Amino acid sequence: MKIAQFETFLVNAGLRNYLFLRLTTNTGLTGVGEASLEWQEKTVETFLHEWVKDRILGEDPFDIERIVDHFVRDQYQGGSTVMTAISAVEIALWDLIGKACGYPVYQLLGGRTKERFPAYANGWYGGCRTAADYAAAAFSAVEQGYTGLKFDPFGVAFRELSGPAMNDAEALVRAVREKVGERIKLMIEVHGRLSAGSAIEMGRRLEKYLPAWYEEPVTPNSLDLLLEVKKSLPFPIAAGERLYTLHDFYRLIHLRAADVIQMDIAHCGGILMAKKIAALAQAQDLQVSPHCSVGPVALCAAVHFGWSTPAVSVQEYFGDYDVPWRGALVLGWNPLRQGEFLLPQKPGLGVELGTAVFPRYPYKPNSFPSLWDKRWLEELTQAESNAVE
């Protein structure tokens, strides 16, 4: 069995664009992957066709280790564009292998490791402005069955937080905590906004609200600053979504600069690379919770990874707060019920691309304003509301 055809599909999903990949073998099997890189999908698409395509055609899908190792070796510069493209191919290869063997991917990765696999909600705060808005939206998410909620209460902060800005952020977290009670996990997202000093001061103010973790409190480019914050606060620190290589994660884990390791399977080299990172984390008694803020194929890969990986206890989920047509972009999968992921049953990833609807949702340039433009919060999930027919 050899890879005989290579296709990409770029579709819009409101404030995001999703880039999907489909590989077809000479036996007629298809494998799907996702190469969405937040607001850089056109760049990744170009790289896939100019550099990756010729190198994957003719390859045996079962040779994942060699293929990925040579991709990483041969693409001299590395970085997020390269690793996202490689990840998409790697995920599609696993899909092909699962279909060829007749097993869901998670069974090929070690099998089921847990009885239940909860999701935590992200995106539930779209359009919220006041503390009361956040509290009401949080309560609504909890009513859907979620036992964990993630949100960024810091507006458009950058580096330093003034006293009033800290008061505003604390008020949002307090309102949500008071509304949902202590049993719900609150993941406080910072998006790398703050200086170490501001992150520590703000973290101390948030301690009383029992954060499940404090995510990317400082720039992802400085593990020393991250470690400084971690040593200063009594609750878990999460990081890793903007690291891209095994070596990056080795340093993060070796330093113990975070308590929760958040590789993104769509950016770190794929499922097998994520398994290696999780093994490093498990050896240091660290938790793993993959980042996944893009589309449904990337999420599907993360779910198979999560079911088969003991160190994973919870997975991020945007699906309930994405555009109405998200579910039509893939066929064959309804991943969540009452805040918990269902165990996949079909061979491979268990999904196929819904290409028939793709022309309805063409790529939109500059679909997301910026995390430092207040429109990002006001417009999140508030894009076109036309549902799929």
Residues recognised as catalytic: 191, 291
Q: Where are the beta strands (DSSP E) in 53-204?
A: 119-121, 148-151, 185-189
Give dist(CA 332, CA 352) in Å, integer: 7
Q: Are 105 and 344 in contact (CB under 8 A)?
A: yes
Alpha carbons within 13 A on the beta-carbon side of 313: 11
Tokens of 287: 């938790």
| Strand order across the beta sheet in which 30-34 lies | 3-13, 16-25, 30-34
Sign of CA dihedral 116, 108, 261, 303: negative
Closest CA to 33 of 350, 301, 290: 301
Q: DSSP of 215-248, one letter per residue?
A: E--S-TT-HHHHHHHHHH-SS-EEE-TT--SHHH
